[in-house]
Structure 1
Amino acid sequence: MDIQTIQNWYKENFENNLSGRRILFTDIEALLNTLPSSYHKKIIGNSENGIPIYQISIGSGKTKVLIWSQMHGNESTGTKAMFDLFKFLADNNTIAKTILNNCELVFIPLLNPDGAIRFTRENANGIDLNRDAVDRLAVESNILRNVLDNFNPQFCFNLHDQRSIFNPENSPNPATLSFLAPSISEERELTNGRIETMSVIVAINKMLQKLIPGQIGRYTDEFYPTATGDNFQKLGHNTILFEAGHFPDDYDREKTREYNFYAMLQGLYFLATANSFTDYKDYFNIPNNDKKYLDIIYRNLKIPVENKIAITDIGIQFKFKVLENKLHMYKAIETTGNLSKYYANSVINAEKLDYLDLELSNS
């Protein structure tokens, strides 16, 4: 797959009707209704608050792949990249034909539309769908599980966003994308399914390292007994966790969205063309995610402490909240102290700044 050709295509053809961090069902509804006839779409249920949840299908190959986005409502980068992928697969190019002739694809865009409105991880009843794979208390969790059981995919792409605090270990760069082949038990044994999953991630990483070297991380493989990926992997569906993170100055995650698109496309192309899934060892050479990247570091800031003035560094992470149906970004204190071992999108010498003028939040 020639990445320069793909980049040229993306520049001219990405889905420009979707942008920003907060993607709602109303944003994708018109796009769903105008998908080409090669896509088969149907409503597979409704959210707790009655918003339709769609399944989109395309392809006629033997390898079945299930891809879903926004099971956390505030994690929308994968949804944007998914609609970019819809346009690419409808483009009748050689790569798209190869994928669709060898794979059958099922997509669930925006699994948690209620959480998207409030820009929260949880659904309308406060349930984290990514921790509801066993109890399945949420209607959305049951919708996803029904698709899994009926479709019986060999592979799953579980699309998430991660906070901008992550960097690949020992790297000054943000973790623009991180990946995980989930464990199936606390022992984290290397099953055949995990080996196959790791092999796909290795292929994705090789491509991304040519584009954003040093910005790819490996998400922790600690076993979570109620997590979706861990349970789907345990059931025999090889599940790849995609975690879309920060790219410098890209707080709407539009550049990250582009690399997420490349990652999904490479993953699908590998599934469509690979003869074996045994090249997995380089998975362990992908650096673990660390938590040493901040949005802003204010260095040498003077702050009042018990009627004295102390000099310290303050690390800021941007957070988001919905006010009057609009998404607002605000500064929140992540950590304080000597932050010389941290990296940041922006580093500001605060010697002459007034602490009270920085409008910082401790929440």
Structure 2
Amino acid sequence: MIYTRLFEAYQNYKELSLTKRRFKHSDILPLIQNLPFDNTLAGQSFEKRDIYKVKLGEGKRKILLWSQMHGNEATATMAIFDILNFLKPQDDEFQDFREAILSDLELHFVPMLNPDGVERFIRRTAQGIDMNRDAVALQCPESKILKGLVLDLKPEFSFNLHDQHIRYSAGISSEQATISFLATAYNQETEWNEVRTKSRQVISAMNETLKEFIPSNIGRFSDEFEPRAFGDNIQKWGSSLILIESGGYKDDTEKQFIRKLNFLSILSAFEAILSNSYQKFTLEDYLQIPQNQKYLFDLKVVNAKVKLGEVDFEVDLGINLEEKNNITASEFTHKSVIEDMGDLSVFWGIQTLDAKGGLLKPLSDFPEIAQKYNFQKQNLVLEGEEAHFIIDHGDHQTVIFNGKVVE
């Protein structure tokens, strides 16, 4: 199968200058300028950063793809440059596939739609607005650029490329939703017209490709209509909208493996469109993709003991980590929180620690250990507090510092 071979050959096309999610607008400008494809200035952001569109292909079927509508959702941006590298003329085993894409399709890529948000590595624009809730009000210049592209190009298909939180699960399961899809609704009734049907058929084709590589880690978002969102409105405007969300995968903090999955799935979508093979997929094929759920904690501690007065009882703890940008938004630290305590048997942990009846105690109860981690305050082990504690087994201790098992 071609995608197995592409998976193995991926490193030949990976854009090696992008290795972490927190790159800047200035990092991608030379990449765009050096491409052997047409690039045009689509407009400028609120803070006057240039937003470029790259065009390639001579086919009659137009496809528009954009990434980083949310500035801190960078996985697909990296994958776009990998795809553009792949589509450059070259002598390899995929040349027939490449030529078919470029002869049958006209591709338009906007690699970075919200460069001001990227600079801060935040979701929103410099105006503090969520661009994906600005399709109607059009308060942001970036929103006006996107709507203008959709109305001017009239693409048959549009790809809205995002990241989602790593704690989404694929259905009610312990499996992270690594890639999730949505054929957005175009009305409150979430009906299936021809435009939306084509969206979920292409998604089903992409799902078939990805099942070879992540059979248990594909999710589907619920399709409640959001009248302010671009995806819902673009579907309503007549372009089949495919939303892709990059979530989490074990030991892939910088989403380099997930980037590779974007590369494969988007290329498989191109193949399904140019060959019309997507038309064979049914509504049942789409609905069998497990719906995204929130059943995961970053760390779940089970079978921990709490002692209050003369009473002992066991609890589970659900701990989450949030990324906090440094001053330049080029690196990050984690801040932990104990999200829940009690019976968490219906949830899973991306990492799970069995306390085996060890007694929960605040880190501040162990001055020597606290000093080792430069921890100088009194703390409690309670829901809503940061996760700094000891699991005391008497003859040994397990240390949790800032939500991570450290010793």
TM-score, normalised relative to structure 2: 0.83
Aligned to 1:56: 54
Aligned to 1:337: 342
Stretch moving more, 304-313 or 200-209? 304-313
Aligned to 2:383: none
Q: How does 1:161-176 map to 2 (within 5 A)?
A: 161-176=163-178
Give the conservation status (yes or no) of the 8 Å contact 2:204–2:278: no
Query: Given residue 18 of structure 1, which amino acid in structure 2 is its aligned partner?
Result: L
Give the conservation status (yes or no) of the 8 Å contact 1:196–1:278: no
Question: In 2 relative to 1, CA 53–332 (structure 1 residues): closer, same or farther, beyond 3 Å?
Answer: farther
Question: In 2 relative to 1, CA 276–165 (structure 1 residues): closer, same or farther, beyond 3 Å?
Answer: closer
Distance in 2 (CA, whole Å) between partners of 1:176 and 1:243 is: 8
Displacement of 1:4: 2.0
Distance in 1 (CA, whole Å) between partners of 2:272 and 2:309 is: 60
Distance in 2 (CA, whole Å) between partners of 1:79 and 1:203 is: 22
Aligned to 1:73: 71
Cα deviation 1:75-94 (Å, max 9, x = unaligned) = 00010111110111114422
Aligned to 1:237: 239
Question: In 2 relative to 1, CA 107–359 (structure 1 residues): closer, same or farther, beyond 3 Å?
Answer: same
Give the conservation status (yes or no) of the 8 Å contact 1:61–1:102: yes
Give the conservation status (yes or no) of the 8 Å contact 2:306–2:360: no
Identity, % of aligned positions = 37
Aligned to 1:273: 275
Aligned to 2:33: 33
Match of 2:206 among 181, 184, 204: 204
Distance in 1 (CA, whole Å) between partners of 2:193 and 2:82 is: 33
Match of 1:43 among 30, 33, 41: 41
Distance in 1 (CA, whole Å) between partners of 2:307 and 2:117 is: 39
**Structure 2 stretches of 5 or more lacking a match?**
364-387, 389-399
Displacement of 1:128: 0.3
Aligned to 1:293: 296
What is the DSSP-based 3-state SS (H/G/I as helix, E as strand, rest coil) of the residue aligned with 1:206? helix
Stretch moving more, 85-94 or 236-245? 85-94
Cα deviation 1:123-172 (Å, max 9, x = unaligned) = 00100000000001001100111111111101000000010111111332
Question: In 2 relative to 1, CA 103–336 (structure 1 residues): closer, same or farther, beyond 3 Å?
Answer: farther
TM-score, normalised relative to structure 1: 0.93
Give the conservation status (yes or no) of the 8 Å contact 1:164–1:294: no
Displacement of 1:340: 2.1
Question: In 2 relative to 1, CA 335–40 (structure 1 residues): closer, same or farther, beyond 3 Å?
Answer: farther
Query: Given residue 30 of structure 2, which amino acid in structure 1 is its aligned partner?
Result: A
Give the conservation status (yes or no) of the 8 Å contact 1:77–1:253: yes
Distance in 1 (CA, whole Å) between partners of 2:237 and 2:339 is: 38
Stretch moving more, 330-339 or 58-67? 330-339
Question: In 2 relative to 1, CA 313–88 (structure 1 residues): closer, same or farther, beyond 3 Å?
Answer: same
Distance in 2 (CA, whole Å) between partners of 1:318 and 1:307 is: 33
Distance in 1 (CA, whole Å) between partners of 2:105 and 2:3 is: 21
Query: Given residue 220 of structure 1, which amino acid in structure 2 is its aligned partner?
Result: S
Displacement of 1:308: 8.1
Stretch moving more, 166-175 or 129-138? 166-175
Distance in 2 (CA, whole Å) between partners of 1:253 and 1:307 is: 48
Stretch moving more, 42-51 or 198-207? 42-51
Question: In 2 relative to 1, CA 333–63 (structure 1 residues): closer, same or farther, beyond 3 Å?
Answer: farther
Distance in 1 (CA, whole Å) between partners of 2:84 and 2:109 is: 10
Matched residues, number: 359
**Structure 1 stretches of 5 or more lacking a match?**
none
What is the DSSP-based 3-state SS (H/G/I as helix, E as strand, rest coil) of the residue aligned with 1:134? coil
Displacement of 1:5: 1.5
Distance in 2 (CA, whole Å) between partners of 1:220 and 1:29 is: 36
Query: Given residue 250 of structure 1, which amino acid in structure 2 is its aligned partner?
Result: D
Q: C-alpha root-mean-square deviation of aligned residues, in Å?
A: 2.1
Stretch moving more, 118-127 or 92-101? 92-101
For the pair 1:133 / 2:138, whether they are aligned, the reply is no
Cα deviation 1:70-124 (Å, max 9, x = unaligned) = 0000100010111110111114422111111110000111101111122211000
Aligned to 1:316: 319
Displacement of 1:174: 0.5
Q: How does 1:83-232 map to 2 (within 5 A)?
A: 83-92=81-90, 93-232=95-234
Question: In 2 relative to 1, CA 10–135 (structure 1 residues): closer, same or farther, beyond 3 Å?
Answer: same
Give the conservation status (yes or no) of the 8 Å contact 2:172–2:295: no
Query: Given residue 55 of structure 2, which amino acid in structure 1 is its aligned partner?
Result: S
Displacement of 1:303: 6.2
Aligned to 1:4: 4
What is the DSSP-based 3-state SS (H/G/I as helix, E as strand, rest coil) of the residue aligned with 2:48? coil
Query: Given residue 290 of structure 2, which amino acid in structure 1 is its aligned partner?
Result: P
Stretch moving more, 97-106 or 292-301? 292-301
Aligned to 2:332: 328
Distance in 2 (CA, whole Å) between partners of 1:181 and 1:299 is: 38
Question: In 2 relative to 1, CA 44–312 (structure 1 residues): closer, same or farther, beyond 3 Å?
Answer: same
Displacement of 1:214: 1.1
Question: In 2 relative to 1, CA 44–303 (structure 1 residues): closer, same or farther, beyond 3 Å?
Answer: farther
Displacement of 1:327: 2.4
Stretch moving more, 43-52 or 232-241? 43-52
Larger radius of gyration: 2
